[in-house]
Structure 1
């Protein structure tokens, strides 16, 4: 086992020795074609620790060193051939998951028996592996009490409802739903040739509706809760049951499952009256009842506007694009315009040409309520649209030119100001450099320069320009001592080396003239000088009766 796995599982030192043996045994005993990893290892560790914790201290001491807990688990799980080893690795590994969750050998055998040698896809193995212990136990109750009396297809549906959801469902409620009410749903769609048992998403939503109706959720309308569920199934049009169960939540469509319009219809209330209350055109309602079952209605931005546009003769392209140009629902001013636009069959509404036309029509309908489209001369509409956008572009071009002129004028003013500032700065720099060159002072009394070798020497800096250049070369602030040197307070010296006919500063030395003592000596960028340079500077200082730097002594 790799160190990474050890770290991930957080094994103790003792477990690091024995746990790999337990895993190797399981791989062999379950006849697996690969090693274990991830949650599979975690499941085995749960089984191992559970078995270990159930032993007393004496029992642990009496166990043989080579006695494996997983060997005992396999013997219990498969005792007397009560459990047949499933045919695939994924199914065999599911046994570990069941055991780790807490199912006993009999329960595991019951689940495996329900698979009937089907492959992992046919039995929905992922739903088993992702289910909680409570869900699995609920499904086991269903298998024992209800499954023997139901068809294989219905049992498969029950497994979907009980296992493929994060919420625990009561097995009795599931049995009631699939035995008493699923036939009503099947009858509704038989004529359409739909094999509903394959639409698991729909069944989950339908069962949720049944469950909340059965539990009498307080937030639901009273007349809806008082309506028998079999009547609820009949009252809601089959298109609503099918199309709005594909996707729920986050969609503003009043007749979607769980929305106010759905409960109005489910309670048997008049659709015509409710349409009048919400202001939905009846043509849109009729269009809804005739939609193809493959329509992804709730994937649309505004399903109600889509249906309304279809009812006025728009094709699907135009109906899909319309909501982006409709600020409010069902604008009556758009109805005659939309009917006329629907007759322009040569326009591709999802391309730029159609988008520009809809944008133009939006502005015209807003500003001219009596606007009409001449469907016999669509070129007039296109020409008017082009002229509309040409005016916008001309106006925008004028704005752009005006803004560009302002920006250019500002840039020119900034450039002139920068040039003046640069000239002033250059002038100040020239004046400062001239002052530095003019500013000189007398050498320090009774101090001689040192020429240590043909390469090294110590010399005094006696004017402002030399101090400025020293500061530039060494990257420190010695150039700020011009006035101090001019007034005789400090004397600045430099240790330099000559290489390849080029002279370079190594250490800058500052001496207090009054007490003839070195107060500072720094290398480049204020670093501490090398030891050999310190020795050399101290020798030079003592030879000139100058006190060395106290920190170096």
Structure 2
């Protein structure tokens, strides 16, 4: 028999593979994964009848090979809280004396472990305060009385490519147990926020939508219009961001802004703080209506508005000590504001802040992150020494602000309160040392929230303003671009998240 070279046939393929191809599998690896996802024996020594029966979902459901008696015993000990190394404190704290919930956790661990490793120590979910798979399963156990389908009926099938991401498996499990209607995937983040007031509220949001409720009926920190609610429910690719983060995103888009403005706003305090929505919505609308504004001006403008309306002033008493006074303009509104005039006020405020005589001296303790130093040689810069150093007083912030032409000194009170830590990335070439990049870190969440160069420039971005264009004539731009790599090295060493 002649075999055509242009049209492949199955006759040259071994019989076992012929069966797999006929059943829709592209490879042995995909078939083995499919079997493991259903608790089937994943060997290739099966008859054609057994292969066909497996594809049709008939019988042969046995524990996956890795679910050994020792593994089962380990999972049962974890569910009972007997092993402190496996978050026993959280199990006691979240489930308390609810023996039924502990029994459900045991069943959940045993069942889900047949499809994915429930004890994986690496970060499982990209956002949330508790990011391990075990944390998500703990929260699911807490809500076991709200389950609408039996756990035993859940089987995680492979994706189109045959290898689902673990987060897809968790999404499938969530919707099997709790959802009658579609829920955007990014709302899975609620189950990695833990069992406290914030976490329980977000989980209620998920279950409200999952049972057919309107998202606009929920008491969310941002009031959603019909358009915003539609955008939020139709979001597909934002599961890497938290629920509140995505609310701000749809608020900007729903008001008529574009994705560039949305990303810029999310890098400011509006991406982390959702209080006083009635006022901040007017600020977002102002930015949307002034679409030609340089994106580099957005963060300084928001800092200015916050300090005018909300930030208490700290005044040094003649006899010593510091007392708090009301904000400079507690009645500040956006009504009737001109963008040009407002930006002039922002510039004037920055200049006032950075004058040393206007800075209230404060100092604070190190936040606990380690400084960083590295020597390297590049074609653009030659041999240099990079330093990442924490700034520990308001005067150091003022000096950094003067050198970099931005308003980092406005973070003084937050640093003194231990909420924020400011770091300066500087470079030394020969005998000259200069600041290149200023970084703000949220201490509690260990997250880099801002990272700016001179005039609030961003690395590897085309200069926009006249001030930024002047820097092109110097050798600052190559230093700023390289400092982004240094920042990433430091962030990885200190295990910092990034929203900058």
TM-score normalised over the length of structure 1: 0.34
Larger radius of gyration: 1
Higher strand share: 2
Q: Which has the higher helix share?
A: 1
Bigger RCO of structures 1 and 2 (CA < 8 A, at least 6 apart)? 2
